[in-house]
Structure 1
Protein backbone atom coordinates (compact mmCIF):
# COMPACT_ATOMS: atom_id res chain seq x y z
CA UNK A 1 0.00 0.00 0.00
CA UNK A 2 2.89 2.38 0.69
CA UNK A 3 4.56 4.13 -2.22
CA UNK A 4 4.28 7.29 -4.26
CA UNK A 5 0.81 7.59 -5.81
CA UNK A 6 0.14 10.92 -7.51
CA UNK A 7 -3.64 10.73 -7.01
CA UNK A 8 -3.33 10.01 -3.31
CA UNK A 9 -0.75 12.74 -2.85
CA UNK A 10 -2.98 15.26 -4.63
CA UNK A 11 -6.07 14.36 -2.59
CA UNK A 12 -4.29 14.30 0.75
CA UNK A 13 -2.33 17.48 0.14
CA UNK A 14 -5.40 19.38 -1.00
CA UNK A 15 -7.59 18.12 1.84
CA UNK A 16 -4.97 18.72 4.52
CA UNK A 17 -4.36 22.22 3.17
CA UNK A 18 -8.06 23.14 3.18
CA UNK A 19 -8.53 21.80 6.71
CA UNK A 20 -5.45 23.62 8.01
CA UNK A 21 -6.69 26.85 6.47
CA UNK A 22 -10.09 26.33 8.11
CA UNK A 23 -8.41 26.04 11.51
CA UNK A 24 -6.53 29.30 11.02
CA UNK A 25 -9.72 31.04 9.87
CA UNK A 26 -11.60 30.29 13.09
CA UNK A 27 -10.60 33.72 14.40
CA UNK A 28 -12.84 35.21 11.69
CA UNK A 29 -15.97 33.79 13.31
CA UNK A 30 -18.23 36.51 14.71
CA UNK A 31 -18.20 34.89 18.17
CA UNK A 32 -14.56 33.79 18.18
CA UNK A 33 -13.57 35.97 21.14
CA UNK A 34 -16.48 34.63 23.19
CA UNK A 35 -15.68 30.98 22.41
CA UNK A 36 -11.96 31.33 23.11
CA UNK A 37 -12.69 32.68 26.60
CA UNK A 38 -14.69 29.58 27.49
CA UNK A 39 -13.22 26.45 29.02
CA UNK A 40 -12.26 24.20 26.12
CA UNK A 41 -12.38 26.99 23.55
CA UNK A 42 -13.05 25.74 20.04
CA UNK A 43 -12.16 22.19 21.12
CA UNK A 44 -15.55 21.98 22.85
CA UNK A 45 -16.96 21.36 19.39
CA UNK A 46 -16.92 17.81 18.06
CA UNK A 47 -16.45 19.37 14.62
CA UNK A 48 -13.06 20.76 15.61
CA UNK A 49 -11.89 17.51 17.15
CA UNK A 50 -13.02 15.72 14.00
CA UNK A 51 -11.22 18.30 11.86
CA UNK A 52 -7.97 17.64 13.70
CA UNK A 53 -8.37 13.84 13.40
CA UNK A 54 -9.11 14.06 9.66
CA UNK A 55 -6.20 16.46 9.08
CA UNK A 56 -3.82 14.15 10.97
CA UNK A 57 -5.05 11.17 8.95
CA UNK A 58 -4.52 12.91 5.62
CA UNK A 59 -1.12 14.27 6.68
CA UNK A 60 0.10 10.91 7.95
CA UNK A 61 -1.11 9.19 4.78
CA UNK A 62 0.73 11.78 2.69
CA UNK A 63 3.92 11.24 4.68
CA UNK A 64 3.60 7.45 4.34
CA UNK A 65 3.30 7.77 0.56
CA UNK A 66 6.21 10.21 0.30
CA UNK A 67 8.68 8.07 2.26
CA UNK A 68 7.16 4.72 1.21
CA UNK A 69 6.78 3.49 4.79
CA UNK A 70 4.68 0.45 5.63
CA UNK A 71 4.88 1.31 9.33
CA UNK A 72 3.44 4.78 8.75
CA UNK A 73 0.78 3.30 6.48
CA UNK A 74 -0.35 0.94 9.26
CA UNK A 75 -0.40 3.82 11.72
CA UNK A 76 -2.42 5.90 9.27
CA UNK A 77 -4.99 3.10 8.92
CA UNK A 78 -5.35 2.95 12.70
CA UNK A 79 -5.83 6.71 12.82
CA UNK A 80 -8.29 6.44 9.95
CA UNK A 81 -10.61 4.35 12.14
CA UNK A 82 -10.51 7.07 14.80
CA UNK A 83 -11.27 9.77 12.23
CA UNK A 84 -14.12 7.89 10.54
CA UNK A 85 -16.81 9.36 12.87
CA UNK A 86 -16.12 12.66 11.09
CA UNK A 87 -18.43 11.35 8.37
CA UNK A 88 -21.17 10.93 10.97
CA UNK A 89 -20.49 14.43 12.30
CA UNK A 90 -20.94 15.85 8.81
CA UNK A 91 -24.16 13.96 8.10
CA UNK A 92 -25.75 14.96 11.42
CA UNK A 93 -24.61 18.57 11.10
CA UNK A 94 -25.99 19.16 7.60
CA UNK A 95 -29.23 17.35 8.37
CA UNK A 96 -29.88 19.51 11.43
CA UNK A 97 -28.68 22.68 9.72
CA UNK A 98 -31.16 22.23 6.88
CA UNK A 99 -34.12 20.84 8.84
CA UNK A 100 -33.72 22.09 12.42
CA UNK A 101 -31.08 24.86 12.52
CA UNK A 102 -31.99 25.93 16.07
CA UNK A 103 -30.79 22.56 17.33
CA UNK A 104 -27.27 23.04 15.98
CA UNK A 105 -26.80 26.84 15.82
CA UNK A 106 -26.84 28.96 18.95
CA UNK A 107 -28.45 32.33 19.45
CA UNK A 108 -25.87 34.90 20.57
CA UNK A 109 -25.40 35.48 24.28
CA UNK A 110 -25.55 39.12 25.48
CA UNK A 111 -22.36 40.82 24.29
CA UNK A 112 -21.12 37.68 22.51
CA UNK A 113 -20.82 39.30 19.09
CA UNK A 114 -19.21 42.47 20.44
CA UNK A 115 -20.16 46.02 19.54
CA UNK A 116 -21.88 46.48 16.18
CA UNK A 117 -23.06 49.45 14.16
CA UNK A 118 -26.07 47.47 12.99
CA UNK A 119 -29.32 47.61 14.91
CA UNK A 120 -30.11 44.05 13.87
CA UNK A 121 -28.87 41.14 15.94
CA UNK A 122 -28.89 37.75 14.18
CA UNK A 123 -31.22 35.20 15.73
CA UNK A 124 -28.63 32.46 15.13
CA UNK A 125 -24.84 32.58 14.81
CA UNK A 126 -24.02 31.34 11.32
CA UNK A 127 -20.67 30.35 9.84
CA UNK A 128 -19.58 31.83 6.47
CA UNK A 129 -20.37 29.24 3.78
CA UNK A 130 -16.78 28.74 2.58
CA UNK A 131 -15.60 28.07 6.14
CA UNK A 132 -18.67 25.95 6.85
CA UNK A 133 -17.85 23.67 3.91
CA UNK A 134 -14.20 23.44 4.96
CA UNK A 135 -15.19 22.43 8.49
CA UNK A 136 -18.23 20.23 7.87
CA UNK A 137 -17.91 18.85 4.34
CA UNK A 138 -14.26 18.56 3.29
CA UNK A 139 -13.06 16.32 6.17
CA UNK A 140 -15.75 13.67 5.69
CA UNK A 141 -15.61 13.79 1.88
CA UNK A 142 -11.81 13.51 1.90
CA UNK A 143 -11.93 10.47 4.19
CA UNK A 144 -14.51 8.70 2.03
CA UNK A 145 -12.58 9.35 -1.20
CA UNK A 146 -9.30 8.32 0.39
CA UNK A 147 -10.79 5.11 1.76
CA UNK A 148 -12.44 3.96 -1.45
CA UNK A 149 -9.76 5.12 -3.88
CA UNK A 150 -6.50 4.42 -2.07
CA UNK A 151 -7.15 2.06 0.85
CA UNK A 152 -8.14 -1.58 1.20
CA UNK A 153 -11.08 -2.58 3.37
CA UNK A 154 -10.55 -3.66 6.96
CA UNK A 155 -10.70 -7.34 7.88
CA UNK A 156 -14.13 -8.30 9.22
CA UNK A 157 -12.97 -8.93 12.80
CA UNK A 158 -10.84 -5.78 12.83
CA UNK A 159 -13.79 -3.72 11.68
CA UNK A 160 -16.20 -5.27 14.18
CA UNK A 161 -14.05 -5.27 17.29
CA UNK A 162 -11.85 -2.28 16.49
CA UNK A 163 -14.77 -0.23 15.21
CA UNK A 164 -16.86 -0.92 18.32
CA UNK A 165 -13.97 -0.16 20.70
CA UNK A 166 -13.04 3.10 18.99
CA UNK A 167 -16.64 4.28 18.73
CA UNK A 168 -17.19 3.59 22.43
CA UNK A 169 -13.95 5.25 23.52
CA UNK A 170 -14.67 8.29 21.35
CA UNK A 171 -18.14 8.64 22.89
CA UNK A 172 -16.82 8.33 26.45
CA UNK A 173 -14.09 10.85 25.73
CA UNK A 174 -16.26 13.48 24.08
CA UNK A 175 -19.20 13.02 26.42
CA UNK A 176 -16.97 13.42 29.47
CA UNK A 177 -15.12 16.36 27.92
CA UNK A 178 -18.17 18.35 26.84
CA UNK A 179 -19.89 17.74 30.18
CA UNK A 180 -16.78 19.00 31.97
CA UNK A 181 -16.59 22.14 29.82
CA UNK A 182 -20.30 22.85 30.26
CA UNK A 183 -20.00 22.57 34.04
CA UNK A 184 -17.88 25.73 33.89
CA UNK A 185 -19.36 27.46 30.83
CA UNK A 186 -22.99 26.82 31.89
CA UNK A 187 -23.87 26.12 28.26
CA UNK A 188 -23.00 23.39 25.79
CA UNK A 189 -21.51 24.12 22.38
CA UNK A 190 -24.64 22.69 20.73
CA UNK A 191 -28.16 23.83 21.71
CA UNK A 192 -29.63 20.31 21.52
CA UNK A 193 -27.33 19.37 24.41
CA UNK A 194 -28.05 22.51 26.43
CA UNK A 195 -31.82 22.03 26.24
CA UNK A 196 -31.76 18.43 27.43
CA UNK A 197 -31.19 16.97 30.88
CA UNK A 198 -28.26 14.64 31.60
CA UNK A 199 -30.15 11.32 31.10
CA UNK A 200 -31.29 12.48 27.67
CA UNK A 201 -27.78 13.66 26.78
CA UNK A 202 -26.45 10.21 27.66
CA UNK A 203 -28.97 8.72 25.25
CA UNK A 204 -27.82 11.19 22.57
CA UNK A 205 -24.18 10.16 23.10
CA UNK A 206 -25.15 6.48 22.94
CA UNK A 207 -27.26 6.99 19.81
CA UNK A 208 -24.48 8.88 18.04
CA UNK A 209 -22.04 6.12 18.99
CA UNK A 210 -24.28 3.40 17.57
CA UNK A 211 -24.80 5.45 14.41
CA UNK A 212 -21.05 5.94 13.98
CA UNK A 213 -20.45 2.20 14.36
CA UNK A 214 -23.14 1.31 11.82
CA UNK A 215 -21.83 3.86 9.32
CA UNK A 216 -18.29 2.52 9.62
CA UNK A 217 -19.46 -1.06 9.17
CA UNK A 218 -21.48 -0.02 6.12
CA UNK A 219 -18.59 1.86 4.52
CA UNK A 220 -16.28 -1.08 5.08
CA UNK A 221 -18.82 -3.60 3.78
CA UNK A 222 -19.37 -1.65 0.55
CA UNK A 223 -15.64 -1.39 -0.13
CA UNK A 224 -14.61 -3.68 -2.96
Structure 2
Protein backbone atom coordinates (compact mmCIF):
# COMPACT_ATOMS: atom_id res chain seq x y z
CA UNK A 1 0.00 0.00 0.00
CA UNK A 2 1.23 3.51 -0.84
CA UNK A 3 0.37 6.93 0.56
CA UNK A 4 -0.56 9.79 -1.75
CA UNK A 5 1.97 12.61 -1.63
CA UNK A 6 -0.78 15.19 -2.15
CA UNK A 7 -3.81 14.16 -0.08
CA UNK A 8 -1.81 11.74 2.15
CA UNK A 9 -4.50 9.05 1.92
CA UNK A 10 -3.36 5.40 1.60
CA UNK A 11 -4.11 3.64 -1.68
CA UNK A 12 -3.36 0.39 -3.46
CA UNK A 13 -1.19 0.49 -6.55
CA UNK A 14 -2.81 -0.67 -9.80
CA UNK A 15 -1.39 -4.07 -10.71
CA UNK A 16 0.01 -4.45 -14.24
CA UNK A 17 2.59 -6.59 -16.00
CA UNK A 18 4.80 -3.53 -16.40
CA UNK A 19 4.65 -2.89 -12.68
CA UNK A 20 5.33 -6.53 -11.80
CA UNK A 21 8.38 -6.49 -14.08
CA UNK A 22 9.53 -3.19 -12.48
CA UNK A 23 9.17 -1.31 -15.76
CA UNK A 24 6.87 1.25 -14.15
CA UNK A 25 7.75 3.51 -11.26
CA UNK A 26 5.59 3.45 -8.16
CA UNK A 27 2.90 6.11 -8.39
CA UNK A 28 3.20 9.07 -6.01
CA UNK A 29 -0.45 10.18 -6.36
CA UNK A 30 -3.58 8.22 -5.58
CA UNK A 31 -6.02 7.53 -8.45
CA UNK A 32 -8.47 10.16 -7.18
CA UNK A 33 -5.83 12.90 -7.24
CA UNK A 34 -4.31 11.75 -10.52
CA UNK A 35 -7.68 11.97 -12.29
CA UNK A 36 -7.72 15.72 -11.54
CA UNK A 37 -4.68 16.20 -13.76
CA UNK A 38 -5.82 17.12 -17.29
CA UNK A 39 -3.49 15.71 -19.92
CA UNK A 40 -2.87 18.01 -22.87
CA UNK A 41 -4.46 16.29 -25.85
CA UNK A 42 -6.32 17.16 -29.03
CA UNK A 43 -5.66 20.26 -31.11
CA UNK A 44 -2.86 22.32 -29.64
CA UNK A 45 -0.65 25.18 -30.71
CA UNK A 46 2.31 23.59 -32.50
CA UNK A 47 4.68 25.99 -30.71
CA UNK A 48 3.53 26.14 -27.07
CA UNK A 49 0.99 23.27 -26.61
CA UNK A 50 -1.89 25.58 -25.68
CA UNK A 51 -5.35 24.24 -26.57
CA UNK A 52 -6.70 25.87 -29.74
CA UNK A 53 -10.14 27.16 -30.61
CA UNK A 54 -11.95 26.82 -33.95
CA UNK A 55 -9.56 26.73 -36.91
CA UNK A 56 -6.52 28.24 -35.16
CA UNK A 57 -3.15 26.68 -35.94
CA UNK A 58 -1.18 28.87 -33.58
CA UNK A 59 -2.31 30.61 -30.39
CA UNK A 60 -2.47 34.39 -29.99
CA UNK A 61 0.56 34.49 -27.68
CA UNK A 62 2.82 32.62 -30.10
CA UNK A 63 1.53 34.68 -33.03
CA UNK A 64 2.62 37.81 -31.17
CA UNK A 65 6.03 36.29 -30.39
CA UNK A 66 6.51 35.44 -34.07
CA UNK A 67 5.52 38.93 -35.17
CA UNK A 68 8.31 40.44 -33.06
CA UNK A 69 11.56 40.26 -34.99
CA UNK A 70 13.70 39.81 -31.89
CA UNK A 71 11.71 36.82 -30.60
CA UNK A 72 10.45 35.12 -33.78
CA UNK A 73 13.00 32.30 -33.85
CA UNK A 74 14.10 31.96 -30.24
CA UNK A 75 12.00 28.95 -29.24
CA UNK A 76 11.41 25.97 -31.48
CA UNK A 77 8.50 24.66 -29.38
CA UNK A 78 7.31 23.87 -25.88
CA UNK A 79 5.83 20.55 -24.79
CA UNK A 80 3.91 20.23 -21.52
CA UNK A 81 2.33 17.32 -19.68
CA UNK A 82 -0.81 18.89 -18.21
CA UNK A 83 -3.16 21.82 -18.35
CA UNK A 84 -2.53 24.30 -15.53
CA UNK A 85 -5.78 23.96 -13.61
CA UNK A 86 -6.62 24.74 -9.96
CA UNK A 87 -5.59 21.27 -8.77
CA UNK A 88 -2.22 21.31 -10.50
CA UNK A 89 -1.62 24.85 -9.22
CA UNK A 90 -2.04 23.56 -5.67
CA UNK A 91 0.24 20.57 -6.31
CA UNK A 92 2.98 22.79 -7.71
CA UNK A 93 2.53 25.24 -4.83
CA UNK A 94 3.12 22.39 -2.38
CA UNK A 95 6.12 21.28 -4.41
CA UNK A 96 7.81 24.68 -4.81
CA UNK A 97 6.75 26.87 -1.93
CA UNK A 98 5.94 24.50 0.93
CA UNK A 99 9.03 22.38 0.57
CA UNK A 100 7.30 19.15 -0.49
CA UNK A 101 10.04 18.28 -2.95
CA UNK A 102 9.02 14.60 -3.00
CA UNK A 103 6.22 15.51 -5.41
CA UNK A 104 8.91 15.86 -8.07
CA UNK A 105 9.08 12.05 -8.20
CA UNK A 106 5.66 11.86 -9.80
CA UNK A 107 6.48 14.32 -12.57
CA UNK A 108 10.11 13.36 -13.26
CA UNK A 109 9.21 9.98 -14.73
CA UNK A 110 6.54 11.48 -16.97
CA UNK A 111 8.88 14.23 -18.18
CA UNK A 112 11.46 11.56 -18.95
CA UNK A 113 8.96 9.66 -21.11
CA UNK A 114 7.96 12.82 -23.00
CA UNK A 115 11.62 13.76 -23.46
CA UNK A 116 12.43 10.35 -24.91
CA UNK A 117 9.46 10.60 -27.27
CA UNK A 118 9.92 14.20 -28.46
CA UNK A 119 13.47 15.40 -27.71
CA UNK A 120 15.98 12.60 -28.18
CA UNK A 121 19.33 14.18 -29.06
CA UNK A 122 18.58 17.40 -27.14
CA UNK A 123 20.63 18.26 -24.06
CA UNK A 124 18.30 18.90 -21.07
CA UNK A 125 19.15 22.22 -19.39
CA UNK A 126 17.55 23.30 -16.12
CA UNK A 127 16.15 26.82 -15.68
CA UNK A 128 18.21 28.14 -12.75
CA UNK A 129 17.11 30.01 -9.65
CA UNK A 130 18.93 33.05 -8.36
CA UNK A 131 21.39 32.37 -5.56
CA UNK A 132 19.08 34.04 -3.02
CA UNK A 133 16.00 32.10 -4.19
CA UNK A 134 17.89 28.81 -4.13
CA UNK A 135 19.11 29.49 -0.61
CA UNK A 136 15.62 30.30 0.68
CA UNK A 137 13.87 27.40 -1.08
CA UNK A 138 16.59 24.83 -0.56
CA UNK A 139 16.28 23.24 -4.00
CA UNK A 140 15.81 24.08 -7.66
CA UNK A 141 12.55 22.50 -8.85
CA UNK A 142 13.89 22.11 -12.40
CA UNK A 143 16.84 20.05 -11.16
CA UNK A 144 14.52 17.79 -9.16
CA UNK A 145 12.33 17.30 -12.24
CA UNK A 146 15.41 15.95 -14.06
CA UNK A 147 16.34 13.55 -11.29
CA UNK A 148 16.82 10.01 -12.51
CA UNK A 149 17.03 10.84 -16.22
CA UNK A 150 19.28 13.90 -16.78
CA UNK A 151 22.21 15.56 -15.03
CA UNK A 152 22.25 19.15 -13.80
CA UNK A 153 24.24 21.16 -16.36
CA UNK A 154 24.90 24.46 -14.53
CA UNK A 155 25.17 26.18 -17.92
CA UNK A 156 23.07 29.16 -16.85
CA UNK A 157 23.04 31.41 -13.81
CA UNK A 158 20.30 33.82 -12.83
CA UNK A 159 20.39 37.26 -11.29
CA UNK A 160 18.18 38.10 -8.32
CA UNK A 161 14.91 39.87 -9.07
CA UNK A 162 11.17 39.99 -8.45
CA UNK A 163 9.33 36.68 -8.72
CA UNK A 164 7.60 36.04 -12.04
CA UNK A 165 4.55 34.86 -10.09
CA UNK A 166 4.06 38.42 -8.80
CA UNK A 167 3.72 39.84 -12.31
CA UNK A 168 0.66 39.76 -14.55
CA UNK A 169 0.70 38.55 -18.14
CA UNK A 170 1.40 41.95 -19.68
CA UNK A 171 4.22 42.69 -17.24
CA UNK A 172 5.89 39.34 -17.95
CA UNK A 173 5.83 39.74 -21.71
CA UNK A 174 7.07 43.34 -21.44
CA UNK A 175 10.25 42.09 -19.77
CA UNK A 176 11.38 40.01 -22.75
CA UNK A 177 14.22 42.38 -23.59
CA UNK A 178 15.62 42.18 -20.07
CA UNK A 179 18.21 39.45 -19.50
CA UNK A 180 18.18 37.79 -16.07
CA UNK A 181 20.43 34.94 -17.24
CA UNK A 182 24.13 34.69 -17.99
CA UNK A 183 26.32 31.79 -19.03
CA UNK A 184 28.77 30.08 -16.74
CA UNK A 185 32.43 30.04 -17.77
CA UNK A 186 32.40 26.53 -19.20
CA UNK A 187 29.06 26.81 -21.00
CA UNK A 188 30.03 27.98 -24.49
CA UNK A 189 31.97 24.89 -25.69
CA UNK A 190 29.17 22.69 -24.36
CA UNK A 191 26.34 24.42 -26.24
CA UNK A 192 27.88 25.48 -29.55
CA UNK A 193 26.02 23.76 -32.39
CA UNK A 194 23.88 21.76 -29.94
CA UNK A 195 20.14 21.26 -29.57
CA UNK A 196 18.95 22.09 -26.05
CA UNK A 197 15.67 21.57 -24.21
CA UNK A 198 14.96 23.81 -21.21
CA UNK A 199 13.33 22.11 -18.21
CA UNK A 200 10.92 24.07 -16.01
CA UNK A 201 7.71 23.57 -14.05
CA UNK A 202 5.25 25.94 -15.80
CA UNK A 203 5.03 27.57 -19.23
CA UNK A 204 2.89 30.68 -18.76
CA UNK A 205 3.69 33.35 -21.35
CA UNK A 206 6.94 31.83 -22.58
CA UNK A 207 8.97 34.87 -21.53
CA UNK A 208 11.38 33.02 -19.22
CA UNK A 209 12.30 30.27 -21.68
CA UNK A 210 12.74 32.83 -24.46
CA UNK A 211 15.04 34.94 -22.27
CA UNK A 212 17.12 31.81 -21.63
CA UNK A 213 16.96 30.77 -25.29
CA UNK A 214 18.20 34.19 -26.41
CA UNK A 215 21.48 34.01 -24.52
CA UNK A 216 22.02 30.34 -25.43
CA UNK A 217 21.49 31.05 -29.14
CA UNK A 218 23.69 34.12 -28.96
CA UNK A 219 26.51 31.85 -27.83
CA UNK A 220 26.09 29.22 -30.51
CA UNK A 221 23.24 26.85 -29.60
CA UNK A 222 21.54 25.56 -32.74
CA UNK A 223 17.97 24.99 -31.52
CA UNK A 224 16.12 25.58 -28.24
CA UNK A 225 12.93 23.89 -27.05
CA UNK A 226 11.31 23.62 -23.62
CA UNK A 227 9.69 20.85 -21.60
CA UNK A 228 7.43 21.63 -18.64
CA UNK A 229 4.91 20.07 -16.30
CA UNK A 230 2.14 22.57 -17.03
CA UNK A 231 0.84 24.87 -19.76
Identify the TM-score tier after normalising by the shorter chain: under 0.3
The structure that is strand-richer by fraction is 2
Report the structure, 1 or 2, having the larger helix content.
1
User: What is the TM-score normalised by the length of structure 2?
Assistant: 0.24
Higher relative contact order (CA 8 A, sep 6+): 1
If the length of structure 1 is used for normalisation, what is the TM-score?
A: 0.25
